[in-house]
Structure 1
Amino acid sequence: MVPESGYRFLDREYNPHPDAKKILNYAIGTQVKNNDTKSVAQYASFNGLLWKKGVNEKWTEFLADPDNVIIRYADVLLMYAEANIELGSSHIDASVLEAINKVRARAYGVDVADVANYPAVISTNQDELRLIVRNERRVEFANEGLRYMDLIRWRLAEKALVGNIYGLLDVNVKASGAATGPLVDEVTSKGLWFWGLKPEIDDETGLPDFTNLHDAGLCKVIAVRNFDATRQYLWPIPAEERKINENLGQNPNY
């Protein structure tokens, strides 16, 4: 979610703006230290975003373990859709669209037939549907441990897991307590908060590209990642397995 000034979540105001040194704790009705802004807490969110999925009131008492999800019905529906899409146009029928739309309709809290109140999929083009399903899995299963293997299956890991990881610009705090630095000078003082520009979207993969924000000086590189396509699509065969079966070789580059 994009942070909003005064956004209320779990009885606290969420505001990562560098000037928001204190926020309102609604439960006790008083201002408290804002650990969600980089001008106060060094390890506040590096991108200024708030994670809400799977978080509820129990987190205000202790860090609750998430439910152990084996499989979700949304995964079954999207697997069905993806399989038929990859089989070709002769397998793309109303059941494929319904599978995708059931996932979307549930997210919007409406019936699948209520197409006026959610973005129902109507295309039967294989390339368009492939991109739709891949993006649907990305948003539906965020932080559920499926993304990496999806990227491996689609042979997109060498694109999605390579390059820069971006975050908010630096914030400095003067002795007077005033927030300064690039984030203030280049973003908030120019009315560009939150980030000021939308990232580009790759039409082929659906992956976001934040290069335009970085080139405009609105974010910084906080890490660089790499994916070695010559070896990481295939994992090594364990030595124990090769000892049991001497006919087994080893995968390339291991």
Structure 2
Amino acid sequence: YAEAKAELGTITQDDLDRSINKLRDRVGMPHMTMGVANDPNFEFASLNPVIQEIRRERKVELACEGFRRDDIFRWAAADELIVGKIPVGAKIAQFQTFKFEDYLPEAAPDLSRQEKFDERVAALEADANGYVKIFKSTLNGGTEGFKFKVNRDYLLPIPPDQLTINPKMKQNPGWN
């Protein structure tokens, strides 16, 4: 609701109070206001600060819910937020010191489980800052970041069986 109103340029403080600020009240956060953006590190430099704050709020509120990619594509922002970025994993040091017995003290020690885990950790590679290279094998050794074709990748390919069912339907551009 708030995002749509902001995109239309008709959002008011009352709209924020009836939507986003109800979420913020639930966890004791300060209210969002029309005049002040709370996050100085905007992802979208050219957008209205209210829209940016609403997008940031959605990112935080729906973290780990599986909506982020869809939002980025809906905003046509993938080429700005994803292209050339290299995602990182956790710090590798966290895995090197992990011991199952520290977290499962009541369970009998399972050395084979710990050994298998340690073998997997030993196979991990870290970047210069100690973060796990999570895409090392798919992105040219993890050095280039995500690839994204603006004229193709905002639309997903239509499954071939759907094209067979409806021969009048054409495949999305770039997916032939």
Q: TM-score, normalised by structure 1?
A: 0.41
Partner of 2:34: 123
Q: CA deviation at 1:85?
A: 0.6
> Bigger relative contact order, structure 1 or 2, given CA contacts below 8 A and separation 6+?
2
Aligned partners of 1:253, 1:151: CA distance in 2, in Å?
Answer: 20
Partner of 1:156: 77
- The Cα offsets for residues 41-80 of structure 1, whole Å up to 9 and x where unpaired, read as xxxxxxxxxxxxxxxxxxxxxxxxxxxxxxxxxxxxxxx0
Specify the code of the residue in structure 1 equivalent to 2:66: G
Give the RMSD, CA atoms, in angstroms.
2.9
Mark the CA change 1:170 to 1:230 in structure 2 (over 3 Å): closer, same or farther. Answer: farther
Aligned ranges 1:34-113 → 2 under 5 Å: 80-88=1-9, 91-98=10-17, 99-108=19-28
Instruction: Could you tell me which runs of 5 or more consecutive residues in structure 2 were left unpaired when the two chains were aligned.
Output: 37-46, 97-126, 136-141
Mark the CA change 1:97 to 1:247 in structure 2 (over 3 Å): closer, same or farther. Answer: same
Of Structure 1 and Structure 2, which has the larger fraction of its residues in strand?
1
Runs of 4+ that moved beyond 6 A: none
Of Structure 1 and Structure 2, which has the larger fraction of its residues in helix?
2
Aligned partners of 2:154, 2:63: CA distance in 1, in Å?
Answer: 21
Partner of 1:45: none
Aligned partners of 2:166, 2:131: CA distance in 1, in Å?
Answer: 50
SS of aligned partner of 2:53: helix
Q: Is the 8 A contact 2:13 2:33 kept in 1?
A: no
Q: CA deviation at 1:249?
A: 1.3
Q: CA deviation at 1:170?
A: 5.6
Aligned ranges 1:112-191 → 2 under 5 Å: 118-123=29-34, 127-162=48-83, 163-166=85-88, 167-168=90-91
Q: Is the 8 A contact 1:242 1:249 kept in 2?
A: yes
